Homo-oligomer: A and B are copies of this chain.
Amino acid sequence: MSDRLRVTLLAGGVGGAKLAEGFAALKTVSLTVIGNVADDDVFHGLWVSPDIDTMLYTLGGRINREQGWGVADEGRRALTVLQELGADTWMFLGDRDLGLHIYRTERLQKGDRPSLIVRDIAERFGIAAQILLPTDDRVQTRVRTGDGWLAFQEYFVRERCTPRVLELRYQGIGSAKPSPEAIAAIAAADLVVIAPSNPLVSIAPILGIDGITEAICATRAPVLAVSPLIAGQAIRGPASAMMDTLGLQPDVKGVAGIYAGIAGSLMIDHQDARHADAIRTLGLAPVCSDILMPDRAGKVRLASAILDLLPSQAEPGNP
């Protein structure tokens, strides 16, 4: 039994992976990530899992640091041929990345459980953290725009998040069963953290799976969410605009409204300190910090700041 602090992090792609990297750098932490599968889709017959792969590439030290997603030293030879053959190639899939998708797809076709496939990839990539799927079933975010329903990647990549989002649906979520590993990781956690990921398209399709929110509510461990918005803006991605068109307040108060009843506290940036009372009114304890993670130091700083909130206990090495 490890005496390290068991942190279970609910996370989407880039922002979630940054905080995961911060926790993974702390020797006092045993990190488990529950990732998002609702932006998965099939391209060229291959199963692609962008958020999970961003997590794998980030924690495995393979990420393209300039982009924040994709693999370093990537090529586009395969995609070039697919394009020459007339395939739709708006979804950038590099050669290394395709190696992973080919591997995953073959194992899925053999009937392997998605959770086990990710576990094996993480192990092969030398990742110490556990990366779990919230479900082994298919849950896929669909986005309604003025032009009708789009698959998430169509909205996110092909349309570059420009259409107004009128409605979101998480197809399959009603019948998706939670993975036993995810439920166990929440129950065993000393701390549950909701990463600064898009609450609507990264975190909601995790929390909406039957049993996940219940497990979070049942744990005696503190549950802390980190705002993905600073001064009403997402660091990256469409969270703010999406919240706005869906009738939510596109700021930390809107975030607090989403996580009320699930998280006990909400970490916000110092810039949003004036909203602390409003957050408290919504039933969450506001915590101000510097939540921007521009570099590795920023990631570690945020992870450490979160641990600092815990009641003092035997935490060797915790600043």
Residue of B nearest to A96 (CB): B77
Residue of B nearest to A102 (CB): B44
A74 within 8 A of B: yes
Chain B residues near A80 (CB-CB < 8 A): 96, 99
Q: How far is the CA of A80 from the CA of B120 in the complex (A)?
A: 16
Residues of chain A in range 94-125 having any CB-CB distance to chain B below 8 Å = 94-96, 98-100, 102-103, 105-106, 109, 120-121, 124-125
Chain B CB within 10 A, most for which of A44, A74, A81: A81
Please classify the interface of chain A as helix (H, G, I), strand (E, B), loop, or mixed, using the class held by over half of its residues.
Answer: helix
Chain B residues near A44 (CB-CB < 8 A): 102-103, 106
Residues of chain A in range 154-204 having any CB-CB distance to chain B below 8 Å = none
Chain B residues near A109 (CB-CB < 8 A): 45
Residue of B nearest to A42 (CB): B106
Residue of B nearest to A62 (CB): B81
Q: How far is the CA of A85 from the CA of B53 in the complex (A)?
A: 14
- Count the copies: 2
From B45, B95, B125, contact of A105 by CB (8 A)? B45
Chain B residues near A75 (CB-CB < 8 A): 75, 77, 95
Instruction: Kindly state the interface size class of chain A when it binds its partner.
Output: 20 to 34
From B78, B121, B125, contact of A102 by CB (8 A)? B78
A82 within 8 A of B: yes
Chain B residues near A74 (CB-CB < 8 A): 77
A86 within 8 A of B: yes
Closest 9 CB pairs of A and B: A81-B99, A45-B106, A78-B99, A77-B95, A95-B95, A77-B96, A78-B95, A85-B103, A75-B77
Q: In the complex, what's the smallest C-beta–C-beta distance from A227 to chain B, in angstroms?
A: 35
A218 within 8 A of B: no
Q: In the complex, what's the smallest C-beta–C-beta distance from A252 to chain B, in angstroms?
A: 39
A79 within 8 A of B: yes
Chain B residues near A99 (CB-CB < 8 A): 77-82, 85
A84 within 8 A of B: yes
List 20 A-B pairs, Cβ < 8 Å: A44-B102, A44-B103, A45-B105, A45-B106, A45-B109, A75-B77, A75-B95, A77-B95, A78-B78, A78-B95, A79-B99, A80-B96, A80-B99, A84-B124, A84-B125, A85-B100, A85-B103, A85-B124, A98-B102, A102-B102
